[in-house]
Amino acid sequence: MSSYFIGIDVSTTSSKALAIDEQGHITHGESFPHDLATPRPLWAEQDPEQWWSASAATLRSLLEKIPAEAVKAIGLTGQMLGLTPVDKDGHVIRPAILWNDLRSGAQCDAITEQFGAHALWQHIGSMLLPGMTLPKIIWMREHEPDNYAQIAKVMLPKDFVRFRLSGAHVTDIADGSGFGLLDVGKRQWSGEMLALADIPRAWLPELCESPDICAYVSEEAAALTGLIAGTPIVGGAGDQPAQAVGSGIVENGQTSLTVGTSGVLFTSADRYLPDEDGRLHTFCHAIPGCWCYLGVMQSAAGSLRWLHDEILPDRSYDALNKMVGSVPRGANGLLFAPYLSGERHPYPDPLARGAFVGFTLRHGLAHMVRSTMEGVAFGMRDLVEIARDKDIYPPSAAVSGGAANSPIWRQIITDVMNMPLYTVNTTAGGAFGAAILAAVGAEAWPDVPSACHALIQQVDTTQPDATGVEAYERIYAAFRQLYPALKDLFVTIAPLDEG
């Protein structure tokens, strides 16, 4: 009988599960959607029980196609940073506060002032930002004291699914890096941060490395999912480290650009050297003894989805791509600021807003589509420029996410970066990376790099076009003026958004 390894991805939009065999081939995959609530401006919440019900449904469906006894291990991945508070009986206290929820800016400022900004950046590997877990906990203490008083455990999204699968309260240190409570250089919880924030250590999960077996499927979860009780579960990783594993970004300096709902620059590093100004996240990688640099823009392909859903719902994405081809580079002077969900890097500003700048009577919908694609590419270029400030000059990068599926958008991004971009032989991303981690935990491969070298190959490379590179250098210089010009206006108009 063949052996299988399952990767589960608890993303913002859905729970997915896929199985790979001993050769790393994806044999089956399933997905069930999640709902997203935005009850107030800057807020983003989900019901954790929906993560579990969707994950259980994916597993039941998957196990109709492969024998449960052939599943040798399970890996988990999912949206990072979110806060799931659980009481002493294991019940969810309130809806989870997600990675793109920006309500806790004041709490970030207070903690940063107490600890000292530079010391904090060096300790937790990043500025403390509203997306992270710690300021959300403090927000609960200040704004929902009754809920706060019930907390017995705090969990990240994928780890709530692990909790329901096994009863184990565990996270991997790659995902745990986003708590804001980890001493990232030492790969352990920070006593200093816990003391400063006055948060009990007992609330936090136990830590493990991403490919390590840390839990086993319980009898109760086996009955609900079709899995065999006792099936091992490895630590897994947050969606970005798992996506990097699934793209083969496992050696020092290797880089990927993920242009999905959010946009992410990911660079693998073999040492802990946080950015002096905290402008990138320096987190633990899913590979033991390795770290990574993460730069994040809050709304990347999500910007194009907004434009499609709200203005062009009757057009296919293929039709949008054709529209872009009819418009010159620079969209005849129409620029797009892609800050629909605030921004994280390089502008840690929850009040940042999206904007089209430069409209004239000659502009139409095709110009808006092209400008959106270019604005997202320029936002990703901002992340690359921070990496270049750290003397990180990758000769090429893996590209994935929705933008990678559009040849014209991929060319725009390639020209804006002036760097070859390649795709790999799977688009399953984080779920595939989680399955690889499960396979390593089950000793199908000796370590994560060995597995990735065996399973992942480059399949398609987009080269920069010299004319496009030259044009976009000029347009990018104009884009760089957008945020500074609009920053004060964002503050002025924020009170007008009262939901």
The residues carrying an active-site annotation are: 239
For CA atoms 310, 356, 259, 402, give the dihedral sign: positive
CA dihedral 64, 66, 69, 74 (to 10 degrees): -100
Here the tokens at position 88 are 């002493």
**Burial status of residue 272 (CB atoms within 10 A of its CB: 0-12, 13-18, 19 or more):** middle
Q: What CA–CA distance (Å, rounded) separates 330 from 472?
A: 8
For CA atoms 50, 56, 59, 63, give the dihedral sign: negative
**Burial status of residue 211 (CB atoms within 10 A of its CB: 0-12, 13-18, 19 or more):** buried
Bridge partners of residue 462, in order along the sequence: 421
Here the tokens at position 356 are 């089209």
Q: Nearest CA to 356 among 344, 373, 90? A: 373
H helical segments located in 259-406: 301-311, 317-325, 365-389
- In which residue are the tokens 């710690």 written? 134
Bridge partners of residue 161, in order along the sequence: none
> What DSSP string runs through 58-123?
HHHHHTTTS-GGGEEEEEEEE--S-BEEE-TTS-B-SPEE-TT--TTHHHHHHHHHHH-HHHHHHH
CA dihedral 392, 398, 399, 401 (to 10 degrees): -110
Q: What CA–CA distance (Å, rounded) separates 19 from 476?
A: 42
Strand ranges of the sheet holding 291-297, from the earlier edge strand across to the other edge: 281-284, 291-297, 263-269, 255-259, 397-400, 421-424, 458-462
Write the CA distances from 442 to 74, 78, 179, integer angstroms.
Answer: 9, 21, 28
Q: Nearest CA to 384 among 240, 265, 468? A: 265
Describe the chain by its helix, strand, coil percentages, rounded to 5.
Answer: 40, 20, 35
- Which contiguous run of DSSP H or E holds residue 423? strand 421-424
